[in-house]
Amino acid sequence: MELDPSIAALEHRLGMDSFRRRLRVEHALQGAVHRFSTNPKSNLAKLLMRSRLLHQAMRLVGLYQIGYRQFLYPRIVTRDVPLAGLPAAMEGVTILQLSDLHLDLDPGLGAILAPLLDGLQYDLAVITGDFRNLLVGPAEPAIAATANLLRHLRGPVYAVAGNHDSLGMIPPLEAAGARFLLNEHVVWSRGNARLVLAGVDDAVYHGTHDLDRAFAGAPNDAPRVLFSHSPAIYREATRHQVDLLLAGHTHGGQICLPGGHIVISGLRCPRRYLRGAWTYEGMQGYTSAGTGASGVPLRFNCPAEVTLHRLVRG
């Protein structure tokens, strides 16, 4: 099949092996979801049926509105990130992180986020993947809603793709102002001080994250920040001298037991990496609980978040 030239042009950025692997996995996912969703006896069909029944039951007992409010009003998390070796000129540099927007799930979220983002102060922004609600299918509603939201972010805005995102979504999102880091890095400067900002492709379903490629040619004397949809690459990140890893994917559990106890995270990973701040062998890490939600526009005991990471000298 002939590839759209704008998609084919991503091969030299992602790397040939990762590019081909991603196309194969995207194709396989489409086939699998189609087979499961058209077979009424499949696990997916049963899951969808149970989810619809759960919806109805929650509406009846008034729980739906409670969960919907928790989904719709993300909290702003502001945190200091102490980094050894941070140049004085980088003191206070603030990274805005949005993650797992899935904006096509519910039009209400974009409308709430726009004015909230207008009022924030930061130096650069990153969206750590998952722009679309479903794993496959039309991406246009997610692209249009994200493009609207990007008008409320001040540049530069970086992004990485998540397990819900396809290569075909990247050219229109880049045209709308998000610069994807496809196993790539950029050097961000303030005065004479430099910061390496690297991003890797999705490690969750596609396995197309390539840290060697992302850091190839990056200066060794500047702090390194890595953006990844999945936090589960933390061991590989330390092998590339990463100082700060920003990730998402887990939604912090999205629907949690009282006390925030995570029931489902969608990731095989020790519990401490599933939500919030963590460290591993001296590397700082943060897993966003997600700005949006997927599947259902509901959250329980797990607030959505917009995160401001303020770098300070450690």
Q: Is 165 in the site for Fe ion (CB under 5 A)?
A: no
How many residues at the interface with Fe ion, by CB under 5 A? Answer: 3
User: First CA to last CA across the chain, in angstroms?
Assistant: 52
- Checking 3-8 for CB contacts under 8 A at 24+ apart, the result is 4/168, 4/171, 6/171, 7/167, 7/168, 7/170, 7/171
User: What minimum distance in Å lies between the beta carbon of 93 and Fe ion?
Assistant: 27
Q: Which is nearer to Fe ion, 130 or 243 (CB)?
A: 130
Site for Fe ion in 59-118 (CB under 5 A): 100
Whether the Cβ atoms of residue 68 and residue 261 lie closer than 8 Å to each other? no
Assigned token pair, 257 = 């037991």
Query: From the CB of 191, what's the least distance to Fe ion, in Å?
Result: 36
Nearer to Fe ion, 101 or 211 (CB): 101
Segment lying near Fe ion (by CB under 5 A), choices 23-31, 34-42, 77-85, 286-294: 286-294
Does residue 130 belong to the site contacting Fe ion (CB under 5 A)? yes
Compute the least distance from the CB of residue 288 to Fe ion, in Å.
10
CA distance 292 to 304: 6
Q: Cβ closer to Fe ion: 224 or 249?
A: 249
CA atoms within 13 Å, Cβ hemisphere of 263: 10
Contact 126, 150 (CB under 8 A): no
Part in contact with Fe ion (CB under 5 A); list of ranges 72-80, 185-193, 211-219, 293-301: 293-301
Q: How far apart are CA 45 and CA 48, in angstroms?
A: 5
Q: Which one, 11 or 165, has the nearer CB to Fe ion?
A: 165
If one asks whether residue 202 binds Fe ion (CB under 5 A), the answer comes out as: no
Q: Among the candidate windows 6-14, 131-139, 151-159, 291-299, which touches Fe ion by CB under 5 A?
A: 291-299
CA-CA distance, 117 to 226, in Å (whole number)? 23
- C-beta closer to Fe ion: residue 180 or 188: 180
Q: Is 201 in the site for Fe ion (CB under 5 A)?
A: no
Q: Greatest CA separation found in the chain?
A: 62
Residues in the site for Fe ion, rule: CB under 5 A?
A: 100, 130, 294
